[in-house]
């Protein structure tokens, strides 16, 4: 049965004790993936370094100087899907070699995946 509404997948994270637990065991990100982030109202790009059970570590591709606890809105393209999430900065460090910020982001509580407009049936 066809639906006229857009296809959206939402993955929730459940808190048990101190660590979030994914309702789905599939990784959301992959190494070297480019994310579009919005920090302090400024749009910038970041590259995923790695993902663990409770955080995502990214290299910020911008001159923006973020702060611990700053809210982060993220988006990315996964195949035919536009994905979005919200999180916050847990920790940050300036690398000495290339002077880029490395951010530890809290694992997103929700991760929304919507079929791109060009692939939706009218």
Distance CA 88, CA 51 (A): 15
pLDDT tens-digit readout, 56-100: 999 998 888 899 999 999 999 988 889 999 999 999 999 888 889
Q: What is the mean pLDDT of residues 24-34?
A: 81
Q: Torsions phi, psi of 30, nearest 5?
A: -135, 160
Distance CA 90, CA 97 (A): 22
Domains of the chain: 29-119 (2.30.110.10)
Residue with tokens 């970041």: 46
Q: How high does pLDDT run on average in the chain?
A: 82
- Give the other-Cβ count within 10 Å of 85's Cβ: 23
Q: Which residue in 102, 99, 97, 88 sits closest to 47, CA to CA?
A: 102
Q: Which helix (H) or strand (E) holds 78?
A: strand 71-78
* 19 confidence band (pLDDT: 50, 70, 90): low
Distance CA 83, CA 35 (A): 10
Distance CA 76, CA 78 (A): 7
Distinct helix (H) and strand (E) counts, the chain: 0, 9
């Amino acid at each position: 049965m066809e639906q006229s509404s857009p296809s959206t997948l939402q993955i929730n994270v459940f808190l048990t004790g101190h660590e979030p637990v994914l309702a789905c065991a599939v990784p959301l990100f992959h190494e070297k993936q480019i994310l579009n982030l919005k920090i302090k109202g400024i749009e910038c790009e970041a590259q995923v370094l790695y993902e663990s059970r409770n955080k995502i570590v990214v290299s910020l591709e911008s001159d923006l100087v973020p702060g611990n606890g700053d809210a982060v809105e993220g988006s990315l393209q996964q195949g035919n899907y536009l994905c979005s999430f919200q999180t916050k900065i847990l920790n940050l460090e300036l690398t000495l070699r290339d002077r880029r910020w490395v951010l530890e982001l809290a694992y997103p509580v929700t991760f929304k995946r919507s079929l791109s407009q060009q692939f939706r049936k009218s």
